[in-house]
A and B are shown apart, each in its own frame.
Chain A
Amino acid sequence: MIAVESAAASGLTSCHTCYQLVSTQSHRCPRCHSSVHARISNSVQRTMALVATAALLYIPAMTLPIMRTVSLGTPMDSTVVGGVVVLWHMGSYPIAAIIFVASVFVPVGKLIALTVLCWFVTYGKGVTPQQQTVLYRITELVGKWSMIDVFVVSILVALIKLGDVLSFYPGVAALTFACVVIITMVAAELFDPRLIWDKAAQHE
């Protein structure tokens, strides 16, 4: 692996707003006058706080009903996992798989990936920055698909209103699940991938 000197090591940093290279000594961008930081401040800690929040919210999102179906006056609450199981038993394997991936695999994977990355940039040893970068890329990629459940619920609730015959109502889990997705997105944004390389440079 070729050691590449970072911009910070050369006394330069990039403006967050207009990407103008400015000296690390100046606190203002000479072009757009926005505040300049070499790295996102307290990135690891803030990311971890949001990851923890998302993880806590994920518990009710999974256990509480995400949607209430009232069919002919009989209400039926369904949770995400319950819905996956029902779809699987009904033979709709692809849909079951999609929902499982979108609502269980992706959020959980994202939370774990962010946690692992934070761990590496703080204490990590023996893992190459390249591997960490791959993990970060994957995190970025899958994050876009995790709102599927919330979309399904909101579309059903909005579209199908047949009174006593068939109606859908969003459950508490729909709200918490949306929060989980949003908070993990923010957490991913707050994680500064440059820390991976800073760490590598530090170890050299």
Chain B
Amino acid sequence: MSEVDPTAATVEDKPPRIQAIWILPLLVLVVGIYVVVQAYFEQGPTITVRFETAAGLQAGKTQLKALNVEIGLVEEISLADNLSHVLVTAKLNPGTESLLREDTQIWVERPRVGAGGISGLGTLLSGAYVELSPGTGTTGQREFLGLEQVPATAPGVPGVRIALYSDRSNSVSPGDPVLYRGFKVGKVETTEFDLESSQMRYTAFVDAPYDQLVTQGTRFWNASGLNLEADASGIRLQAGSLTSLIAGGVSFDVPDIAEIGVPVEDGTSFRLYPDQRSSETNPYRFGRLLVAEFEQSLRGLDAGAPIEYRGIRVGTVERIITSQIGEMHGAGTAIPVVLRAEPGRFGLGDTADALQQLDENLAFMVANGLRATVQTGNLLTGSLYISLDHYPDAEPALIGKYDAYPTLPTISSGLERLERQVATLLDKINALPLGDTVEELNATIARARTLLASVDKIVNDEATKALPARLEATLVELERAAASFAEGSELYGGANETLTELSQTLASVRALAQKLEDRPNTLIFSTPQNPDPEPGMGSQ
């Protein structure tokens, strides 16, 4: 090579230095890092929702919407470990944290056809999506339990949510109206069967301002269907509105006899009566459960039988406890009957305080002879009812305890009591020594007969027969003797004369006695002679 390398001189005429073009990859790098960092920090929240099924959901496709605004995307759908449900992981857009609250409700919006209308038609073409309805609780919730049914009422809507329960399903379904005197004021939200209590449970929402109508005295009843009743007064047909006739519904009102009370709070529980009439016949919410143990036949006494105090209804028979019938008991087992006494019927008011008052009153009344008895309500059907009344002569008793219930002392009464009394009477009669008595009586009769025979003999005697004639002769003589004392007879004149003389003698004796009184010395001294009175010798 020559001392001057033309290649070196021409090709690498300048020492290699950092070229300006390196700004380009640097710029890309910086922008890239910025985008990544921003995406990382502005990442929206990821939530996990638990659903029964993932029907209609697709990972990476199904959207999350709030009020139909897209707020996120379902990222992953996986089965739970025990295969009982699915876990849907969804990524939300940045800035949606405020939607994720404690009581946020999430459900899958699908096409639904119900009595209340058709909803979610839009999802027929677009496919199902996950709807989110933000609540009002604290934020920060990331795991949710998805609803299987569309909530009827969005959270935060003013009104009152109440719970209803009934013993059987009354064909009330979610979305059915809640009516007040025929006007729709709310709707039924959920229905479910509670296994523990074996009851249908419903939740219903009554919108403001009608929530003021739901008070403590309110009664709910099933308004769907027809109600036909026939009795002595004729035939009654009850029907709700056409909507409620077809779709069902729940009505409520305050029965006339119940107190209105104050508006209830959220979550208050009410019984759902099968119809309006039964809601009015059972208008009391508070009742004290009591147990009365009866030692007599309860055939004809059913749950629901009335309890009456001197003919006025004060409660209802709840049930008859039959679990202890087989217990060893010499005199037979008393059968406990659970009674429900309602303070409202006692005139104490339908409140919790009234229960206390009722307890006190009952204790006092029992101490004063209040007893429960079983009475025949209907002789034809033999149905019984429980009667409460005062029996001052009953053995003293107090309110006791049976399991958790206070007990009412009982006495047997009615037919049962009568039967017992008759039986006792018969027993006593049986116990009488009738045989001896009859024998003695027979002997007495025999002796009486002998007595009568001897009397007969005396009567038939000749002497006895002559007795009247001799009696008559005696009477004639007596009459003659009486005539000798008659006026004008000799004896009468002599006696009269003697009496006159006696009278004169007595007069002179009286004169003597007078003289002796005036002058006791007369018997010794002679009586001085008074001068004869002269005319003109008087005082001047």
Q: In the complex, A202 Cα to B6 Cα: how many Å?
A: 11
Give per-residue flags for B22-58: 1 if the beta carbon is below 8 A from chain A beta carbons, else 0.
Answer: 1011001100100100000000000000000000001
**Which chain A residues (48-73) contact chain B, with CB distance < 8 Å?**
49-50, 52-53, 56-57, 59-60, 72-73
A8 to chain B, nearest CB (A): 6
Pick the contact of A13 from B10, B35, B126 — CB < 8 Å? B10
Q: In the complex, A24 Cα to B63 Cα: how many Å?
A: 67
Q: Which residue from chain B places its CB closest to the CB of A37 in the assembled complex?
A: B10
Given A42-B16, A74-B58, A74-B61: A50 and B7 within 8 A (CB)?
no
Pick the contact of A59 from B7, B10, B32, B126 — CB < 8 Å? B32
Q: In the complex, A13 Cα to B10 Cα: how many Å?
A: 10
Q: In the complex, A77 Cα to B58 Cα: how many Å?
A: 13
B10 partner residues in chain A, CB cutoff 8 A:
8, 13, 24, 38-39
Chain A's interface size range is 20 to 34
A39 touches B11 (CB 8 A): yes
A44 partner residues in chain B, CB cutoff 8 A:
16
Q: Which residue from chain A places its CB closest to the CB of B29 in the assembled complex?
A: A56
A132 to chain B, nearest CB (A): 17
Given A56-B29, A74-B126: A45 and B7 within 8 A (CB)?
no
Given A46-B19, A164-B125: A201 and B28 within 8 A (CB)?
no
Given A59-B32, A60-B32, A77-B60: A52 and B25 within 8 A (CB)?
yes
B127 sits at the interface (CB 8 A):
yes
A30 sits at the interface (CB 8 A):
no
Q: Which residue from chain B places its CB closest to the CB of A190 in the assembled complex?
A: B21
A73 touches B127 (CB 8 A): yes
A50 touches B61 (CB 8 A): no
Q: In the complex, A9 Cα to B5 Cα: how many Å?
A: 8
Q: Which residue from chain B places its CB closest to the CB of A47 in the assembled complex?
A: B21
A47 to chain B, nearest CB (A): 9
Give per-residue flags for A168-183: 1 if the beta carbon is below 8 A from chain B beta carbons, else 0.
Answer: 0000000000000000
B7 partner residues in chain A, CB cutoff 8 A:
6, 8-9, 198, 201-202
A73 touches B125 (CB 8 A): yes
B16 touches A45 (CB 8 A): yes
A8 touches B6 (CB 8 A): yes
B60 touches A76 (CB 8 A): yes
B125 touches A49 (CB 8 A): no
A53 partner residues in chain B, CB cutoff 8 A:
24-25, 28
Q: In the complex, A67 Cα to B138 Cα: how many Å?
A: 39
Q: In the complex, A74 Cα to B61 Cα: how many Å?
A: 6
B268 to chain A, nearest CB (A): 43
**Which chain B residues (119-133) contact chain A, with CB distance < 8 Å?**
125-127
A56 touches B25 (CB 8 A): yes
A49 touches B21 (CB 8 A): yes
A45 touches B32 (CB 8 A): no
Q: In the complex, A77 Cα to B60 Cα: how many Å?
A: 8
B73 to chain A, nearest CB (A): 8
A50 partner residues in chain B, CB cutoff 8 A:
21, 24-25
B111 to chain A, nearest CB (A): 13
Q: In the complex, A41 Cα to B127 Cα: how many Å?
A: 60
B32 touches A56 (CB 8 A): yes
A38 partner residues in chain B, CB cutoff 8 A:
10-11
B19 touches A42 (CB 8 A): yes
Q: Which residue from chain A places its CB closest to the CB of B10 in the assembled complex?
A: A38
A49 partner residues in chain B, CB cutoff 8 A:
19, 21-22, 24-25
A198 touches B11 (CB 8 A): yes
Q: Which residue from chain B places its CB closest to the CB of A6 in the assembled complex?
A: B7
Q: In the complex, A131 Cα to B24 Cα: how many Å?
A: 31
Q: In the complex, A11 Cα to B11 Cα: how many Å?
A: 11
B64 to chain A, nearest CB (A): 13
Most buried by B among A11, A56, A164: A56
B21 touches A46 (CB 8 A): yes
Q: Which residue from chain A places its CB closest to the CB of B35 in the assembled complex?
A: A60
Give per-residue flags for A75-88: 1 if the beta carbon is below 8 A from chain B beta carbons, else 0.
Answer: 11100000000000
A74 partner residues in chain B, CB cutoff 8 A:
58, 61-62, 126-127
Q: Which residue from chain A places its CB closest to the CB of B58 in the assembled complex?
A: A74
Give per-residue flags for B279-295: 1 if the beta carbon is below 8 A from chain A beta carbons, else 0.
Answer: 00000000000000000
B28 partner residues in chain A, CB cutoff 8 A:
53, 56-57
A202 partner residues in chain B, CB cutoff 8 A:
7
Give per-residue flags for A26-46: 1 if the beta carbon is below 8 A from chain B beta carbons, else 0.
Answer: 000000000000110110111
Q: In the complex, A72 Cα to B63 Cα: how many Å?
A: 13
Most buried by A among B21, B60, B126: B21
Q: In the complex, A8 Cα to B11 Cα: how many Å?
A: 9
Most buried by A among B25, B29, B62: B25
Q: In the complex, A202 Cα to B5 Cα: how many Å?
A: 10
Q: Which residue from chain A places its CB closest to the CB of B22 in the assembled complex?
A: A49
A11 touches B6 (CB 8 A): yes
Q: In the complex, A49 Cα to B63 Cα: how many Å?
A: 42
B22 partner residues in chain A, CB cutoff 8 A:
45, 49
Q: In the complex, A38 Cα to B11 Cα: how many Å?
A: 6
A72 touches B21 (CB 8 A): no
A68 to chain B, nearest CB (A): 11
B6 touches A24 (CB 8 A): yes
A41 partner residues in chain B, CB cutoff 8 A:
14
Q: In the complex, A53 Cα to B19 Cα: how many Å?
A: 14
A79 to chain B, nearest CB (A): 11
B16 partner residues in chain A, CB cutoff 8 A:
42, 44-45
B93 to chain A, nearest CB (A): 14
Q: In the complex, A201 Cα to B62 Cα: how many Å?
A: 64
A-B pairs with beta carbons under 8 Å apart, 24 shown: A6-B7, A8-B10, A24-B10, A38-B10, A38-B11, A42-B16, A44-B16, A45-B16, A45-B21, A46-B19, A49-B21, A49-B22, A50-B24, A52-B25, A56-B28, A56-B32, A59-B32, A60-B35, A72-B125, A73-B127, A74-B127, A77-B60, A195-B11, A202-B7
Q: Which 3 A-B pairs have the closest CB atoms?
A: A73-B126, A52-B25, A53-B25
A8-B7, A8-B10, A46-B19 known; 15 new pairs, CB 8 Å cut-off, are A11-B6, A24-B10, A41-B14, A44-B16, A45-B18, A49-B21, A49-B25, A56-B32, A73-B125, A73-B126, A74-B58, A74-B61, A74-B126, A75-B61, A201-B7
B positions within 8 Å CB-CB of A: 6-7, 10-11, 14, 16, 18-19, 21-22, 24-25, 28-29, 32, 35, 58, 60-63, 125-127
A positions within 8 Å CB-CB of B: 6, 8-9, 11, 13, 24, 38-39, 41-42, 44-46, 49-50, 52-53, 56-57, 59-60, 72-77, 164, 195, 198, 201-202
